[in-house]
Protein backbone atom coordinates (compact mmCIF):
# COMPACT_ATOMS: atom_id res chain seq x y z
CA UNK A 1 0.00 0.00 0.00
CA UNK A 2 2.72 2.58 0.81
CA UNK A 3 4.37 1.80 -2.53
CA UNK A 4 1.13 2.59 -4.36
CA UNK A 5 0.88 5.93 -2.55
CA UNK A 6 4.48 6.71 -3.42
CA UNK A 7 3.85 5.91 -7.09
CA UNK A 8 0.74 8.09 -7.04
CA UNK A 9 2.70 10.93 -5.45
CA UNK A 10 5.53 10.59 -7.97
CA UNK A 11 3.14 10.63 -10.93
CA UNK A 12 1.35 13.64 -9.44
CA UNK A 13 4.65 15.51 -9.10
CA UNK A 14 5.65 14.57 -12.65
CA UNK A 15 2.37 15.82 -14.11
CA UNK A 16 2.64 19.02 -12.07
CA UNK A 17 6.18 19.71 -13.32
CA UNK A 18 5.20 18.84 -16.88
CA UNK A 19 2.25 21.25 -16.85
CA UNK A 20 4.37 24.03 -15.36
CA UNK A 21 7.14 23.52 -17.92
CA UNK A 22 4.81 23.33 -20.93
CA UNK A 23 2.78 26.26 -19.62
CA UNK A 24 5.91 28.37 -19.24
CA UNK A 25 6.99 27.51 -22.78
CA UNK A 26 3.59 28.44 -24.20
CA UNK A 27 3.52 31.72 -22.24
CA UNK A 28 7.00 32.58 -23.46
CA UNK A 29 6.07 31.79 -27.08
CA UNK A 30 2.85 33.80 -26.74
CA UNK A 31 4.68 36.84 -25.41
CA UNK A 32 7.35 36.61 -28.11
CA UNK A 33 4.71 36.40 -30.85
CA UNK A 34 2.74 39.31 -29.36
CA UNK A 35 5.79 41.56 -29.05
CA UNK A 36 5.69 44.58 -28.68
CA UNK A 37 2.97 44.56 -26.06
CA UNK A 38 3.01 48.29 -25.40
CA UNK A 39 0.89 50.46 -27.65
CA UNK A 40 -1.61 47.77 -28.64
CA UNK A 41 -5.30 48.20 -28.12
CA UNK A 42 -7.27 45.44 -26.46
CA UNK A 43 -8.62 44.16 -29.79
CA UNK A 44 -5.14 44.18 -31.34
CA UNK A 45 -3.94 42.11 -28.41
CA UNK A 46 -6.84 39.64 -28.64
CA UNK A 47 -6.48 39.25 -32.41
CA UNK A 48 -2.68 38.96 -32.24
CA UNK A 49 -0.79 35.86 -33.28
CA UNK A 50 0.40 34.88 -29.80
CA UNK A 51 -2.82 35.32 -27.84
CA UNK A 52 -3.93 31.68 -28.05
CA UNK A 53 -0.51 30.37 -26.99
CA UNK A 54 -0.41 32.84 -24.12
CA UNK A 55 -3.86 31.85 -22.84
CA UNK A 56 -3.09 28.12 -23.24
CA UNK A 57 0.09 28.57 -21.23
CA UNK A 58 -1.71 30.39 -18.44
CA UNK A 59 -4.39 27.68 -18.31
CA UNK A 60 -1.71 24.97 -18.14
CA UNK A 61 0.02 26.74 -15.26
CA UNK A 62 -3.26 27.00 -13.35
CA UNK A 63 -3.89 23.30 -14.00
CA UNK A 64 -0.41 22.59 -12.69
CA UNK A 65 -1.36 24.25 -9.41
CA UNK A 66 -4.55 22.18 -9.20
CA UNK A 67 -3.02 18.74 -9.97
CA UNK A 68 -3.23 17.59 -6.33
CA UNK A 69 -6.91 18.49 -6.26
CA UNK A 70 -7.65 16.85 -9.60
CA UNK A 71 -5.76 13.64 -8.75
CA UNK A 72 -7.35 13.35 -5.32
CA UNK A 73 -4.28 13.83 -3.13
CA UNK A 74 -5.72 14.13 0.36
CA UNK A 75 -2.42 14.81 2.06
CA UNK A 76 -1.61 18.45 2.77
CA UNK A 77 1.82 19.66 1.61
pLDDT at 1 over 70: no
Residue 77 domain-assigned? no
In a domain, 36, yes or no: yes
Q: Looking at 29-38, 48-57, 68-77, which range is the least confident one?
A: 68-77
| CB atoms closer than 10 angstroms to residue 30 | 21
| Domain enclosing residue 61, as ranges | 2-71
Total of domains in the chain:
1
What 3 state SS string does the chain have?
CHHHHHHHHHHHHHHHHHHHHHHHHHHHHHHHHHCCCCCCCHHHHHCCCCHHHHHHHHHHHHHHHCHHHHHCCCCCC
The answer to whether residue 54 is domain-embedded is: yes
| 25 located within any domain | yes
The reply to whether 76 falls in a domain is no
What global pTM score does this model have? 0.77
For residue 47, tell me if it sits in a domain: yes
Amino acid sequence: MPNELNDHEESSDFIKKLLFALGAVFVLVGIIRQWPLAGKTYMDFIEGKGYLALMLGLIMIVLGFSVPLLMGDDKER
